């Protein structure tokens, strides 16, 4: 018996060694952790239960039968994050470059199937050279099987991808279908075709970092939701994100202990909005002053900064926040902002996370670039996302909200539950000057008359009371009491039940 146990431990040690000390040292030299080190940091200490440690590939071509490392380049299993179950796979770059074989893919599929069956999030740590060329179409089939699991898991359990090394070719489509993608600066990259192929086909000279690095995907393409300085920070932030999310679509997000008075009044909010309607202010200040303990987890902070998305807690419960940002493009909606916010709203709705919308929007960004880029269809995505969402929705208008953008930003007409306005809010078809220039075109030559008309228009319409008189605003509230009113609104909606008409699925304008 002792010999058998010794043999088991020996085989385990061999599997845990991955590609050997030399390759582990090379991984560390690049500033990267190994697959197992990443899992240890991500999960609670001692909670990881591994599956398929001794699985090996089945390929016999190109001399592959001579090298059959245990685990086949990916570590899979389950564990806990702050006591809550998650499933995880971590590709091991020290074993054949983390390349995906038929059995490598089967290991990933196995834990994804278990995650769907048992209702727990899936976290994938990607660090792979791509498909294993020696296995040919079997490797591609493995990708296809993983993709199908991503699709089946979407909206059922949260899926998070951590890109901690190369992720190229067809491999990128698995993270692309997950809910959140985090990357590590200077050591991770994603692209469909690499720099060499790009140079051959288009004659463009570009580095891997410029083509698909963390900065590119968080600022330009919006593929990634966050970029971090190193593996340790990325893993710590993933633990923090998981704390805001439910385990699956049938459970509520966890309620955390809080020490912040829900009735807290913040007098500084009474002077947050400047007297000059054209002067910007930072909407993040309002978000952190509403949130429990000022804790705000922002999603896609570097992309489309004219709209803010992220998670806060109110009375210990997770709430998704969508807010216009007046300091960037005056808070206008554009193509990128609409796409970013629409995807976030749909995620919150899929996992029963209430949505708080903070509105200060002068309209959609004008220009040929926006029109040619399809702002009509992209803007409709956000409209559609809000309209179909059945979760509790609370909206606060802080300053101007003009035209179609007023309707899009979780208005009463899109089944928002509570619509509050600050006394500084303006709900109108357009700004006073623009409206006067259309209504009184014949008087444009007389500056005094136009000025008087503008003042008259502002006095009549540059306030929230016209909308309140029609029932489109539920209450005009004091800015300092925003946290109290919003907390009470969400508390009253905890038992909300709303179902849309039966359909196989909708046809959102993609």
Q: Which residues are catalytic?
A: 169-170, 404-405
Mention every residue, 6+ apart, whose C-beta is less than 8 A from residue 369: none
* Token reading at 437: 């220039």
Closest CA to 349 of 412, 308, 393, 381: 393
Mention every residue, 6+ apart, whose C-beta is less than 8 A from residue 83: 44
Angstrom distance (rounded) from CA 111 to CA 115: 6
Contacts 24+ apart (CB under 8 A), 273-278: 273/398, 273/399, 273/422, 273/424, 273/479, 277/399, 277/400, 277/426, 278/330
386, 408 contact by CB (below 8 A): yes
Mention every residue, 6+ apart, whose C-beta is less than 8 A from residue 69: 18, 19, 56, 95, 96
Give the burial string for 44-55 (b: 16+ CB within 10 Å, else e): eeebbebebbeb
Closest CA to 127 of 46, 231, 48, 256: 231
Cα 451 off chain centre by: 45
For residue 221, what are the CA distances in angstroms to 47, 178, 286? Answer: 36, 16, 28
Angstrom distance (rounded) from CA 356 to CA 180: 20
Beta strands in 267-380 (DSSP E): 297-299, 307-314, 317-324, 355-361
What distance, in Å, lies between the first and last C-alpha atoms of the chain?
Answer: 62
Alpha-helical (H) ranges within 63-207 are: 102-118, 137-153, 173-176, 195-202
């Amino acid at each position: 018996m002792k010999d058998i146990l010794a043999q088991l431990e020996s085989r385990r040690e061999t599997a845990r060694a991955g590609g050997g000390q030399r390759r582990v040292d090379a991984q560390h030299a690049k500033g990267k952790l190994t697959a197992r080190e990443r899992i240890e940091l991500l999960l609670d200490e001692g909670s990881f239960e591994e599956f398929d440690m001794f699985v090996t590939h089945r390929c016999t071509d190109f001399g592959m039968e001579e090298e059959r490392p245990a685990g086949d380049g990916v570590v899979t299993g389950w564990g806990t994050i702050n006591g809550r179950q998650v499933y995880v796979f971590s590709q091991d770059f020290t074993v054949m470059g983390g390349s995906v074989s038929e059995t490598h893919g089967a290991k990933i599929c196995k834990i994804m199937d278990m995650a769907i069956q048992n209702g727990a999030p899936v976290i994938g740590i990607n660090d792979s050279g791509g498909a294993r060329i020696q296995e040919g179409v079997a490797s591609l089939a493995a990708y296809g099987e993983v993709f199908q699991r991503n699709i089946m898991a979407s909206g059922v359990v949260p899926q998070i991808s951590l890109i901690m090394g190369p992720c190229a070719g067809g491999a990128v489509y698995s993270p692309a279908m997950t809910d959140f993608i985090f990357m590590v600066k200077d050591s991770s990259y994603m692209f469909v075709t690499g720099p060499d192929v790009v140079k051959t086909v288009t004659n463009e000279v570009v580095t891997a970092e410029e083509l698909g690095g963390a900065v590119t995907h968080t600022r330009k393409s919006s593929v990634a939701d966050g970029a971090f300085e190193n593996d340790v920070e990325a893993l710590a932030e993933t633990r923090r994100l998981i704390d805001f999310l439910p385990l699956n679509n049938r459970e509520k997000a966890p309620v955390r202990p809080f020490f912040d008075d829900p009735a807290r009044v913040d007098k500084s909010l009474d002077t947050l909005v400047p007297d000059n309607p054209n002067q910007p202010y930072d909407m993040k200040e309002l978000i952190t002053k509403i949130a429990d303990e000022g804790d705000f987890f922002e999603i896609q902070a570097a992309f489309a900064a004219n709209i803010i998305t992220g998670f806060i807690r109110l009375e210990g419960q997770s709430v998704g926040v969508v807010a216009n940002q007046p300091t960037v493009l005056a808070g206008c909606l554009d193509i990128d902002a609409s796409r970013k916010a629409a995807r976030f709203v749909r995620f919150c709705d899929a996992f029963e996370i209430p949505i708080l919308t903070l509105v200060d929007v002068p309209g959609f960004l004008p220009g040929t670039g926006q029109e040619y880029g399809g702002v009509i269809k992209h803007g409709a995505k956000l409209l559609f996302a809000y309209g179909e969402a059945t979760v509790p929705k609370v909206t606060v208008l802080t300053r101007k909200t003009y035209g179609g953008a007023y309707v899009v930003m979780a208005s009463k007409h899109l089944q928002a539950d509570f619509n509050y306005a600050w006394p500084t809010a303006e709900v109108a078809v357009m700004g006073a000057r623009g409206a006067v220039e259309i209504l009184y075109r014949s008087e444009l030559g007389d500056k005094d008359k136009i000025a008087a008309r503008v003042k008259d228009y502002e006095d009549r319409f540059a306030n929230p009371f016209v909308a309140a008189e029609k029932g489109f605003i539920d209450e005009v509230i004091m800015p300092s009491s925003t946290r109290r009113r919003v907390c009470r609104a969400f508390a009253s909606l905890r038992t909300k039940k709303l179902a849309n008409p039966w359909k196989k699925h909708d046809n959102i304008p993609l």
